[in-house]
Amino acid sequence: MKLFGRFILDAGLISAKDLADAMVEQVSQTPQSVEIIYQKGLISPEQVLDIISLQNDEHLDFRTACIRLEIWRTDFIDIINEEVAKRRLTLGQLLVDKELVEPNKLLSVLKQFHVYRAENNNDFALFSDNTLLDLNEENNNSNELDESFSPDFSQVKINNVVDYLDLFSEEKEIELEMKILAIESLGKANQDVNPEELLDQFFTEYHSLKGTARGIGAILTENLIHESEDLLTFYKRFLHKVESSDFVALAATNLKVLDVLSHLRNEMIDTSTEESFWRKPELKEKYLRALHDTKRLFTELESRGYQVDLEDVRDMF
């Protein structure tokens, strides 16, 4: 599994030296665990001295040293991660600030990286007390996909493609991606973003795309967005119950959806039809996978015991 740095290096976006310089700077910004916990008033000055002495004498990490001294608390991990995230710039932000990569190129590769992670690892796995949604492609082979969805293109003729392309431009795609990445962070402490407002905005964007897709006869696009709307409606309805890990799963699912929508748009540009997309086995499987993951996340959440009818909450959007 590649880390983001290796991913952008392999993509030819940056040189090894520039990447190494940025990563060293990022590491230098990372506060030490003992510093964070002490500044939060969770350990005494005497305990700080004991931890540092034990680490120096026996080359132990912070957690092991605390366990040995019987002062470890399970909430230390969340506190440390939260503070590190606040103080340390992300690698992408560092690269842009240092003008080592252009923002639009970085965003393009970032989207590919998130899709790569969702398809090749369980980084986006949803682990909570109530549900387990593993988006690992290895565990979800194509034989599991529901191929009952069979679009009839015989009565469909796409027209006025320019209307959809104007609405779903490359700039709009990047904007949607940024909203998805913001959704991924929902539920974490000290977030300035209002979850309800962000989900409202994202739903509105999807709804506009779906309406235009219906108007031009893009049935694949319309169907996929419709399923995604249902999932967003569920999150909106039960916003007070979903957990931070649920938002990670929602983001992973929608990154796949956005990737498929991008392929569909490009196919319409090239051929003025969605049928050619459906005739390509690898693209058809991508579509069915995104559809499957969207429905599966909905089902996993419903299994917790609360359900919602889309029509009951339509006015919330």
What was the pLDDT predicted at 188? 66
**Could you tell me the mean pLDDT of each successive run of 10 residues in the chain, 317 residues long?**
78 88 82 91 94 88 89 86 77 82 77 66 36 37 62 79 84 87 75 82 91 90 92 85 84 91 89 89 92 89 62 41
Residues 260 and 247 in one domain: yes
Phi-psi region of 272 (alpha: psi -120 to 50; beta: other; left: phi over 0): left
Q: Which helix (H) or strand (E) holds 132?
A: strand 132-133
Read off the DSSP letter of residue 40: T
Q: Which helix (H) or strand (E) holds 127?
A: strand 126-127
Residues 189 and 80 in one domain: no
- Cβ neighbours of residue 276 under 8 Å, at least 6 residues apart? 267, 270
Of 67, 101, 135, which residue sits at a domain end?
101
Report how far residue 283's alpha carbon sits from residue 276's, in angstroms, rounded to the nearest whole number.
Answer: 10
Q: Determine the 3-state secondary structure of 193 from DSSP.
A: coil
Of 101, 127, 156, which residue sits at a domain end?
101
Residues 290 and 188 in one domain: yes
**Residues present in the chain in total:** 317
Instruction: Output 307-315 pairs: Cβ under 8 A, ≥24 positions apart.
Output: 308/233, 308/234, 308/237, 308/238, 310/229, 310/230, 310/233, 313/233, 313/236, 313/237, 314/233
Residues 212 and 80 in one domain: no
Residues 209 and 82 in one domain: no
What was the pLDDT predicted at 32? 86
Report how far residue 233's alpha carbon sits from residue 219's, in angstroms, rounded to the nearest whole number.
Answer: 21
Q: What are phi and psi of 265, to 5 degrees?
A: -60, -45
Residues 56 and 15 in one domain: yes
Residues 146 and 293 in one domain: yes
Of 101, 127, 161, which residue sits at a domain end?
101
Residues 179 and 250 in one domain: yes
Residues 34 and 150 in one domain: no
* 47 neighbors 125 (Cβ within 8 angstroms): no
Nearest of 67, 45, 48, 317 to residue 196 by alpha carbon: 317
How many structural domains does the chain have? 2
- Which residues constitute the domain of residue 239? 104-316
Residues 188 and 305 in one domain: yes
CATH code for the domain of 120: 1.20.120.160
Residues 43 and 80 in one domain: yes
Nearest of 91, 52, 86 to residue 68 by alpha carbon: 52
Read off the DSSP letter of residue 315: G
Residues 38 and 114 in one domain: no
What was the pLDDT predicted at 146? 64
Q: How far is CA 126 from CA 133, 242, 256, 283, in A?
A: 5, 11, 16, 26
Q: How many CA atoms are closer than 13 Å to the CA of 253, on its beta-carbon side?
A: 28
